[in-house]
């Protein structure tokens, strides 16, 4: 039986800021339990809901040196849905209302977390064959493993995998401070190791020292070898391309299931969506104070409101998007200019636009179940989960062809009667607008064809099953 330890900075249901948490929370459940013992290690944030904290059981504690400081490390354990979770406890680092704060604090916090994760393993009696690290917050773990720990018998055969969920976030701070915090020898801070453009870079350390690197879709694995998507590390990604592959994320098909979802007004299936899906739409229109008309074309958006997600394109043509025959429902938070953009249009067109500038899991499910189309015009998108959820709920994605969006949404072809959504190629507001208008035209004028697009989308399988098999294969080859 192979032992695998996931180490990550967030995980549903305990703490979540983005798609990383969904992956770390879902993937271990779908790995074959007969062949693999998969466990997960996380920081014990103060922000974790009390219902979970109360179930955690004390496992051990010790004191660890972090460069010139000595720090307390507590380890707690919790079993949830058949998976064992370990939580690293230190109130100095993990207090606060959110998992991340100022980058200079996070740099020290996650250096502590990486070292504590490794240091705790002999004491909790779990000796993984593979440590699967996620994103920059765990980038120092492969470095520490090769630096301090590999000499000991306990650690000498451990392998590491580094999964990049979004290359934009790298954990960068000045070399002198990072040397002081980590206690790593000066020899590590050279351009072939942790140093990048004069600073220390945690993610780069992880990419250099990990035995294997994965990212969250095939297209993104190719894109990050190019300067535009490579965020300054494209040369390193090309250098390590023999140990790099993309494995597309899945979604939890038990949680996202229109037939059984308790958060939506009317359950439906691929057989019944033609009459039942619109009941959700009418209920949402009523709840949000929009004009109650099931014939209106409803576009949903559930996203962080940032440039990366293509909101500058929407900003450019929003007046045209909010045409009289269209409703726009937005859910999410992010950059102030975009929050205010949607607030303004909700004020200007209260019957057509609903701006929900907060995050609500329940409302996101209602939007997936109610909207006719789902808009994701991302500048880059490593994988994207929202388009997978909308396919599952029979909501037709309108996406830009990049990263995981290109890999998971098949563009509609009216001549061959195929496709599961609509897509456009260039990062251009009018190209996006034309694609929205084309989709709307199919919705109004060719309803049978629209329903067939929905049928094909709902028939796709983006559950974790197939992705989990690919990860198992990778664990076995290591």
Residue 67, pLDDT > 90, answer: no
Distance CA(454)–CA(412), nearest Å, equals 11
| Contact between 420 and 453 (Cβ < 8 Å) | yes
| Residue-level pLDDT at 60 | 98
| Residue-level pLDDT at 435 | 98
Distance CA(82)–CA(64), nearest Å, equals 30
- Band (150; pLDDT cuts 50, 70, 90): confident
Using one digit for the tens of pLDDT, what is the confidence trace for 287-314?
999 999 999 999 999 999 999 999 999 9
Distance CA(372)–CA(99), nearest Å, equals 34
State the average pLDDT over residues 184-202.
Answer: 97
Using one digit for the tens of pLDDT, what is the confidence trace for 363-401?
999 999 999 999 999 999 999 999 999 999 999 999 999
Helices (H) and strands (E) in the chain — how many of each?
A: 19, 18
| Residue-level pLDDT at 335 | 96
State the average pLDDT over residues 26-51.
Answer: 97
Listed in sequence order, the residues at least 6 apart from 441 whose beta carbon sits closer than 8 Å to its beta carbon are none
| Residue-level pLDDT at 359 | 87
| Contact between 368 and 395 (Cβ < 8 Å) | yes
Distance CA(31)–CA(469), nearest Å, equals 7
| Residue-level pLDDT at 379 | 97
- Band (18; pLDDT cuts 50, 70, 90): confident
State the average pLDDT over residues 184-193.
Answer: 96
What percent of the chain has pLDDT above 70?
A: 100
| Residue-level pLDDT at 192 | 96
Distance CA(213)–CA(361), nearest Å, equals 31
State the average pLDDT over residues 191-202.
Answer: 97
| Residue-level pLDDT at 17 | 86
| Residue-level pLDDT at 90 | 97
Spatial strand order in the sheet of 36-43: 57-66, 69-80, 83-89, 36-43, 2-7, 130-134, 159-164, 212-215, 244-246
Using one digit for the tens of pLDDT, what is the confidence trace for 216-238?
999 999 999 999 999 999 999 99
Kindly list the structural domains of the chain, giving each domain's residue range(s) and its CATH number in brackets, ordered by start.
Answer: 2-250+465-477 (3.40.50.2000), 273-461 (3.40.50.2000)
The chain-wide mean pLDDT, for the chain, equals 96
Distance CA(318)–CA(301), nearest Å, equals 13
**Residue at token pair 């000498």:** 156
- How far the first Cα of the chain sits from its last, in Å, is 14
């Amino acid at each position: 039986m192979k032992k695998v330890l996931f180490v990550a900075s967030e995980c549903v249901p305990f703490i979540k800021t983005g798609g990383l948490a969904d992956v770390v929370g879902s993937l271990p459940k779908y790995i074959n339990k007969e062949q693999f013992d998969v466990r997960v290690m996380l920081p014990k944030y103060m922000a974790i809901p009390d219902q979970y904290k109360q179930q955690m059981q004390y496992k051990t504690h010790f004191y660890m040196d972090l460069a010139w400081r000595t720090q307390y490390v507590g380890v707690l354990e919790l079993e949830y849905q058949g998976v064992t979770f370990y939580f690293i406890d230190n109130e100095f680092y993990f207090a606060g209302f959110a998992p991340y704060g100022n980058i200079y604090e996070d740099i020290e916090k996650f250096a502590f977390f990486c070292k504590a994760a490794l240091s705790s393993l002999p004491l909790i009696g779990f000796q993984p064959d593979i440590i699967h690290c996620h994103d920059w917050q765990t980038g120092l773990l492969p470095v520490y493993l090769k630096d301090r720990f590999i000499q000991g018998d306990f650690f000498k055969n451990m392998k590491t995998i580094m999964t990049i969920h979004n290359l934009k976030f790298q954990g960068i701070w000045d070399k002198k401070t990072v040397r002081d915090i980590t206690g790593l020898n000066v020899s590590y801070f050279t351009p072939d190791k942790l140093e990048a453009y004069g600073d220390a870079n945690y993610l780069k350390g992880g990419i250099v020292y990990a035995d294997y690197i994965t990212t969250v879709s095939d297209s993104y694995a190719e894109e990050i070898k190019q300067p535009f998507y490579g965020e300054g590390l494209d040369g390193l990604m090309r250098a390590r391309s023999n140990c790099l592959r993309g494995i597309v994320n899945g979604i939890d098909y038990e949680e996202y299931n229109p037939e059984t979802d308790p958060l939506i007004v009317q359950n439906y299936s691929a057989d019944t969506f033609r009459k039942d899906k619109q009941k959700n739409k009418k209920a949402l229109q009523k709840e949000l104070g929009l004009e109650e008309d099931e014939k209106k074309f409803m576009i949903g958006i559930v996203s962080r409101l940032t440039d990366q997600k293509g909101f500058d394109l929407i900003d450019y043509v929003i007046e045209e998007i909010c045409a009289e025959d269209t409703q726009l429902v937005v859910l999410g938070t992010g950059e102030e200019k975009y929050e205010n953009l949607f607030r303004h249009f909700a004020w200007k067109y209260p019957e057509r636009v609903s701006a929900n500038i907060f995050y609500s899991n329940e409302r996101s499910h209602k939007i997936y179940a109610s909207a006719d189309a789902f808009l994701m015009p991302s500048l880059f998108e490593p994988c994207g989960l929202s388009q997978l959820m909308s396919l599952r709920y029979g909501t037709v994605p309108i996406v830009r062809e990049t990263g995981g969006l290109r890999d998971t949404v098949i563009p509609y072809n009216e001549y061959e009667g195929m496709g599961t959504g609509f897509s456009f190629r260039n990062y251009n507001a009018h190209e996006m607008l034309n694609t929205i208008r084309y989709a709307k035209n199919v919705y109004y004028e060719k309803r049978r064809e629209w329903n067939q697009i929905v049928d094909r989308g709902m028939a796709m399988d983006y559950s974790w099953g197939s992705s989990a098999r690919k990860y198992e294969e990778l664990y076995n080859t290591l």
